[in-house]
């Protein structure tokens, strides 16, 4: 039922309650769920039209509407008062700062004898009312990009194992033009969520004023309309692109109707066509999605008879901001504490920081290629390193070391060697060799402390025997010694340990 027809029913009921039932204006308004001022307007218009109750049986709803609102049905000569191009009016109103009054004034300049402003607004409302609900929601050119994941997934089969995993479909659409981007991703994890934003903006060739995501936990930690708490990486991405992230209000479907409609179109136009196809890689799936996406954006829309691409190039694209000089590089964050060797660990690799930060807590920012380390609230990194995938190895910058490798906290090479000698000569020999196996002895402090602390849980005989075996096998690592201890049977106290002489047992003077 149209809005006008429903309104006529309310008008007729309000007149009946007032004239036939004798209710007050406010009581009639409460019964009809409308304001009392609206009921008063209905009564005034009915009296002006000369209507009484009961209404004439020959008077239908259209006739009643014409009697009550005659100004809306004034005959307009097409030759003397040409109507505006309503589709062009709709496009103009999408542009920033453009109002109905401005468009009407421009229309009046071209047609001084044209329709008045009130009739202009009324006729445009009638035109807009014929559009789909999602199109009636006014969007400013270049203002908003809506992003979300489709509810449907696409299976990808591993050609070697036959294992099937589901690919997620990321969708982004412009508010004013409905120009759409879609891609398949391995998951909805933060790295893929950010990557989808980067690739979508590259596809569009510009940046909107705002991004409107659903309250996906990867991007929005706290879904509050007034003060949403964004994930730190998502916030950093937004700052990089100079865009505001305004998550859609919770339980407000109209606020995200644009992207939900885009998701539905992608599911029906693209995913439905892929239902009987088998894909063996994400790249193959994305190649087909891109082909179908081109068809979708070039296909004329049912209402406007224009394609999404035409609308985008005419409305949204001219209003977009330029892309940053280089795309954002995804980053993850982690807190760590600086060890006595002035290194921090990230994914089993060790990176140096200035030795003055020993025992301090620092924040790690890691991208695909670089690792930056920040202390407290400082904006500048205290250290930066190229990312390394070498497990158990060290990335050490000379500038981070203390002069002459002197005391760092309470630990240095001399003290570690003295502790090792208290266990036995084989342990001292192994610890000494471990220290010189690194480019800088400080890089081995963490490993040495771990090994020497094992001596508190094992006998001297076990430690001496294992250190001798590790030395001979060139196993210079904490885990290697630990594994040897766990796999070695307990020794009898009566069993002597043979300690061969080695010329490279240097003693503590080596480090002085």
Residue 197 has pLDDT above 70, yes or no: yes
Tell me the three state secondary structure of residue 73.
Answer: helix
**Cβ contact 464:497 at 8 Å:** yes
Domain boundaries, the chain: 3-73, 86-130, 144-319, 331-405, 413-511
Average pLDDT estimate for 154-159: 91
pLDDT score at 363: 94
pTM for the whole structure: 0.50
How do residues 468-483 score in pLDDT, each as one tens digit? 988 988 888 888 888 8
Write a three-state SS string for 273-294: HHCCCCECCHHHHHHHHHHHHH
Is pLDDT larger for residue 224 or for residue 185? Answer: 185
pLDDT tens readout for residues 392-441:
888 888 888 876 554 444 566 777 888 888 888 999 899 888 888 877 66
DSSP state of 137: S
Q: How far apart are the first and last CA of the chain?
A: 95
Q: How far apart are CA 461 and CA 477, in angstroms?
A: 20
**pLDDT score of 382 more than 90:** yes
Q: Which two tokens stand for residue 269?
A: 């136009």
CA distance 449 to 340: 10
Of residues 243 and 246, more confidence is placed in 243
Please provide the DSSP assignment of 328-340 as one string.
Answer: PPPEEEEEEE--T
The secondary element (H helix, E strand) that includes residue 501 is none
Give SS3 for 5. helix
Averaged pLDDT, 145-174: 91
The mean-pLDDT minimum among 200-214, 426-440, 498-512 falls in: 498-512
Highest mean pLDDT among 69-78, 99-108, 370-379: 370-379
pLDDT at 407: 45
In this prediction, residue 33 carries a pLDDT of 80
| Position with higher pLDDT, 505 vs 25 | 25
**CA gap 386, 48 in Å, rounded:** 83
* Tens-digit pLDDT profile for residues 308-319: 999 899 888 999
What would the two tokens of residue 142 be? 């270049």
pLDDT band at 4 (very low <50, low <70, confident <90, very high): low
Dist CA 336 CA 358 (whole Å): 11
* Rg (alpha carbons) of the chain, rounded to whole number: 37
Q: Which two tokens stand for residue 126?
A: 């009638």
Q: What is the dihedral of CA 385, 390, 394, 400, to 10 degrees?
A: 0
DSSP 8-state secondary structure symbol assigned to residue 206: S
pLDDT confidence of residue 133: 46
In eight-state DSSP terms, residue 475 is: -
User: Using a CB cutoff of 8 Å and minimum separation of 24, what contacts does 364-370 make?
Assistant: 364/333, 364/334, 364/335, 364/336, 365/331, 365/332, 365/333, 366/331, 366/332, 366/333, 366/334, 367/329, 367/330, 367/331, 368/329, 368/330, 369/329
Q: Which one has a higher pLDDT value, 255 or 266?
A: 266
Residue 464 neighbours by CB under 8 Å, 6+ apart: 423, 424, 425, 426, 427, 497, 499
Task: Give pLDDT, residue 81.
Answer: 67
The pLDDT value given to residue 77 = 43
Separation between Cα atoms, residue 172 and residue 174, nearest integer Å: 7
Which string of DSSP letters, residue by residue, matches 357-418? GTT-EEEEEEESSEEEEEETT-SS-SEEEE----TT-EE--GGGSPGGG--BTTB-HHHHHH
DSSP 207: B
pLDDT-derived band at 297, boundaries 50, 70, 90: very high
Instruction: Please state the rounded mean pLDDT for residues 184-211.
Output: 92
Report the share of the chain in percent with pLDDT over 90: 22
In 150-191, the DSSP E strands lie at: 154-157, 164-174, 180-185
Cis upstream peptide for 54 (omega within 30°): yes
CATH of 144-319, one of 3.30.10.20, 1.10.10.10, 3.40.50.300, 3.30.420.10: 3.30.420.10
Sequence-distant contacts of 409-412: CB under 8 A, at least 24 apart: 409/340, 409/358, 409/359, 410/340, 411/340, 411/445, 411/449, 412/511
220-224, 419-423, 459-463: least confident range: 220-224
Tens digits of residue pLDDT in 93-148 = 777 667 888 888 888 888 887 888 888 888 887 777 665 444 444 678 888 899 99
């Amino acid at each position: 039922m149209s809005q006008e027809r429903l309104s006529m029913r309310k008008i007729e009921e309000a007149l009946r309650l007032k004239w036939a039932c004798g209710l007050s204006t406010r009581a009639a308004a409460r019964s009809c769920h409308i304001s009392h001022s609206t009921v008063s307007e209905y009564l005034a218009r009915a009296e002006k039209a000369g209507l009484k109750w009961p209404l004439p049986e020959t008077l239908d709803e259209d006739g009643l509407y014409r009697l009550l609102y005659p100004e809306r049905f004034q005959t307009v000569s097409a030759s003397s008062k040409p109507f505006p191009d309503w589709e062009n009016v709709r496009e103009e109103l999408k542009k920033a700062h453009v109002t109905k009054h401005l468009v009407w004034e421009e229309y009046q300049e071209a047609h001084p004898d044209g329709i008045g402003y009130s009739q202009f607004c009324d006729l445009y409302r009638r035109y807009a009312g014929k559009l789909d609900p999602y199109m009636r929601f006014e969007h400013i050119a270049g203002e908003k990009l809506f992003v979300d994941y489709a509810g449907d997934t696409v299976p990808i089969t591993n050609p070697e194992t036959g294992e099937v995993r589901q690919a997620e479909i990321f969708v982004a659409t412009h508010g004013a033009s409905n120009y759409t981007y879609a891609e398949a991703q391995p998951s909805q994890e933060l790295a893929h969520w950010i990557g989808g934003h980067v690739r979508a903006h590259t596809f569009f060739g510009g940046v909107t004023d705002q991004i409107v995501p659903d309250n996906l936990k990867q991007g929005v930690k706290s879904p509050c309309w007034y003060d949403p708490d964004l994930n730190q990486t998502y916030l950093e991405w937004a700052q990089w692109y100079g865009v505001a992230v305004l998550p859609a209000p919770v339980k407000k479907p109209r606020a995200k109707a644009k992207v939900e409609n885009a998701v539905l179109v992608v599911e029906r136009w693209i995913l439905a066509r892929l239902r009987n196809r088998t894909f063996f890689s994400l790249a193959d799936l994305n190649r087909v999605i891109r082909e179908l996406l081109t068809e979708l954006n070039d296909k004329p829309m049912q209402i406007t008879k224009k394609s999404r691409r035409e609308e985008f190039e005419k409305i949204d694209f001219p209003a977009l901001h330029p892309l940053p000089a280089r795309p954002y590089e995804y980053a993850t964050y982690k807190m760590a504490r600086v060890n006595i060797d002035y290194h921090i660990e990230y994914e089993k690799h060790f990176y140096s920081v200035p030795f003055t930060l020993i025992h301090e807590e620092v924040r790690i920012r890691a991208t695909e290629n670089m690792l930056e380390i920040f202390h407290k609230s400082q904006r500048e990194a205290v250290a930066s390193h190229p990312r390394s995938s070498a497990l158990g190895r060290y990335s050490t910058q000379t500038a981070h070391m203390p002069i002459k490798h002197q005391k760092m906290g309470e630990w240095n090479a001399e003290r570690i060697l003295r502790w090792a000698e208290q266990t036995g000569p084989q342990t001292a020999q192994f610890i000494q060799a471990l220290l010189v196996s690194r480019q800088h002895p400080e890089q081995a402090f963490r490993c040495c402390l771990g090994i020497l602390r094992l001596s508190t849980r094992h006998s001297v005989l076990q430690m001496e025997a294992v250190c001798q075996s590790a030395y001979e096998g060139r196993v210079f690592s904490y885990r290697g010694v630990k594994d040897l201890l766990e796999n070695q049977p307990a020794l009898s106290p009566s069993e002597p340990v043979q300690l061969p002489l080695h010329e490279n047992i240097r003693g503590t003077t080596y480090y002085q």
